[in-house]
C-alpha cells in the first residue's frame, strides 16, 4: 500500500487571519489522522502574509495533543537560523511527550527573503556563515548521543526527552542535499513541488547512500502538490488561487494571502499568456482517479517509498475535501469522524 502523508504550509486565505490558518492546520491534522494519512508535517516560512507558521514546533505540540496515531513533525526546521542544541532540545521534548511519533525534517533554505533572514540572526554584525553540514552533524550528535568526547559541547548533550528521539530527515530540492543525506545515511525528502525535475537527484541520493546506525537502506519520500475535487473543472477552479499567488511571487517577489477563486480567475484571465505561472512546478489536478494515477506515476518516477501531499486552496473546506478524496482513491484505512 502506498504511504501518504501531508505537508501543511498553514495558508492564510484572503479575508481571514493567521490565527484562523493555524486553527485550520490543527483541524486538518485531526482530519488527516482520521483518514489514514501516515504523517502530518508543518512547514516553516517567515515574514509572509500568505503562510502562518514561522515556528513548526509551536504547532506540533497542539497537534500531537489532539491526535493519537499519526506521525507529527517539521517539514522542515530551517537549521541555518538556529542553534543545533536548541533544535535538539525542542524536538527531544516533543519526542518525550509523543513517543514514537515525532519527525524532525531539516532544511537548508531560509524560508523567507534576505532581509527577514538577516533579521532572524542573533548576531547581525556580519552575515551568518554557510556551515549547514557542520550544523547538521552537531544536531545529529546531540540526538544520537554520538558527539565525540573531545567535542567542545559534548558535556551539554543531555536531552530532556530521552530515551525517545525524533526521526531525523533531510529535506532538499538540489543535488547537494541528496549527497549529504546519502553520505550521512539519513532518509531524504525531495521537494517536487519546488523542482519537479528531481528523479535523477533521488537516484544520486541512492548512489551516495551509506548505511548508518539509524537507517540501513535508502528511504525517499517525495513531496508534491495536488488538488483533488469531484470533477476536473472544479479542481482547475480551486487551483487558480495558488496559481495567482505563485505567479505574483515569481514575477514580483510579493506574497499575498491566498486569493479567492473569483479574484484569481480575473487575475489569470487578464495576465499575459507568457506569465511564468508554474515553470518547473508540477500541479496534479483532477478527480480522484486522475489524481491517483498521476500521484502513483510521480512516486514511481522517484522510486519513492512515500508521498507527501501539499494542497493550498482558498477554502479550508475544499482543502479538507481534497485530502478526503485522495484518501478514498488510495483506499487508506480510515474511520468516519
**Domains along the sequence of the chain with CATH:** 3-233+281-329 (3.20.20.30)
Question: Alpha carbon of 27 to those of 10, 24, 30, 33, 109: distances in Å?
Answer: 11, 5, 5, 10, 28
pLDDT at position 336: 47
Report the range of poorest mean pLDDT among 40-49, 173-182, 271-280: 271-280
pLDDT at position 128: 81
Indicate if the pLDDT at residue 248 is higher than 60.
Answer: yes
pLDDT at position 288: 98
pLDDT at position 281: 65
pLDDT at position 226: 97
- The pLDDT tens digits for 72-107 are 999 999 999 999 999 999 999 999 999 999 999 999
Residue 252: CB partners within 8 Å, gap ≥ 6? none
Indicate if the pLDDT at residue 238 is higher than 80.
Answer: yes
Arithmetic mean of pLDDT, 107-112: 83
Indicate if the pLDDT at residue 278 is higher than 50.
Answer: no
Percentage of residues in the chain with pLDDT exceeding 70? 96
**Cβ atoms within 10 Å, residue 155:** 9
Contact 319, 328 (CB under 8 A): no
Name the grid cell of 228.
Answer: 483533488
User: Mean of the per-residue pLDDT values for the chain?
Assistant: 93
Indicate if the pLDDT at residue 274 is higher than 60.
Answer: no
- The pLDDT tens digits for 152-192 are 888 887 899 999 999 999 999 999 999 999 999 999 999 99
pLDDT at position 271: 76
What's the burial of 3, exposed, middle or buried (CB within 10 Å: 0-12/13-18/19+)? middle
pLDDT at position 246: 87
**Cβ atoms within 10 Å, residue 30:** 17
Amino acid at each position: 500500500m502506498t504511504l501518504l502523508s501531508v505537508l501543511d504550509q498553514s495558508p492564510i486565505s484572503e479575508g481571514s487571519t493567521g490565527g484562523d490558518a493555524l486553527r485550520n492546520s490543527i483541524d486538518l491534522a485531526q482530519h488527516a489522522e482520521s483518514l489514514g494519512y501516515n504523517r502530518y508535517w508543518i512547514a516553516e516560512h517567515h515574514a509572509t502574509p500568505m503562510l502562518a507558521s514561522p515556528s513548526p514546533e509551536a504547532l506540533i505540540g497542539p497537534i500531537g495533543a489532539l491526535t493519537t496515531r499519526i506521525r507529527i513533525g517539521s517539514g522542515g526546521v530551517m537549521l541555518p537560523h538556529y542553534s543545533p542544541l536548541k533544535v535538539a532540545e525542542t524536538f527531544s521534548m516533543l519526542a518525550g511527550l509523543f513517543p514514537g511519533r515525532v519527525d524532525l525534517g531539516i532544511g537548508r533554505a531560509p524560508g523567507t527573503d534576505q532581509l527577514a533572514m538577516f533579521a532572524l540572526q542573533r548576531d547581525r554584525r556580519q552575515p551568518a556563515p554557510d556551515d549547514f553540514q557542520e550544523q547538521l552533524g552537531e544536531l545529529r550528535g546531540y540526538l544520537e548521543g554520538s558527539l565525540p568526547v573531545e567535542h567542545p559541547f559534548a558535556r551539554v548533550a543531555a536531552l530532556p526527552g530521552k530515551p525517545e528521539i525524533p526521526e531525523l530527515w533531510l529535506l532538499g530540492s538540489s543535488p547537494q542535499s541528496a549527497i549529504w543525506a546519502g553520505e550521512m545515511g539519513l532518509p531524504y525528502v525531495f521537494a517536487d513541488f519546488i523542482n519537479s525535475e528531481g528523479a535523477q537527484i533521488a537516484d544520486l541520493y541512492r548512489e551516495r547512500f551509506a548505511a548508518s546506525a539509524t537507517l540501513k537502506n535508502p528511504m525517499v519520500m517525495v513531496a508534491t502538490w495536488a488538488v483533488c475535487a469531484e470533477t476536473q473543472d472544479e479542481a482547475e477552479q480551486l487551483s487558480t488561487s495558488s496559481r495567482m499567488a505563485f505567479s505574483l511571487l515569481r514575477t514580483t517577489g510579493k506574497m499575498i494571502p491566498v486569493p479567492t477563486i473569483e479574484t484569481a480567475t480575473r487575475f489569470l484571465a487578464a495576465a499575459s499568456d507568457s506569465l511564468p505561472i508554474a515553470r518547473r512546478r508540477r500541479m496534479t489536478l483532477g478527480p480522484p482517479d486522475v489524481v491517483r494515477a498521476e500521484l502513483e506515476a510521480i512516486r514511481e518516477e522517484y522510486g519513492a517509498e512515500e508521498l507527501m501531499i501539499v494542497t493550498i486552496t482558498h477554502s479550508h473546506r475544499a482543502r479538507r475535501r481534497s485530502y478526503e478524496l485522495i484518501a478514498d482513491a488510495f483506499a487508506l484505512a480510515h474511520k468516519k469522524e
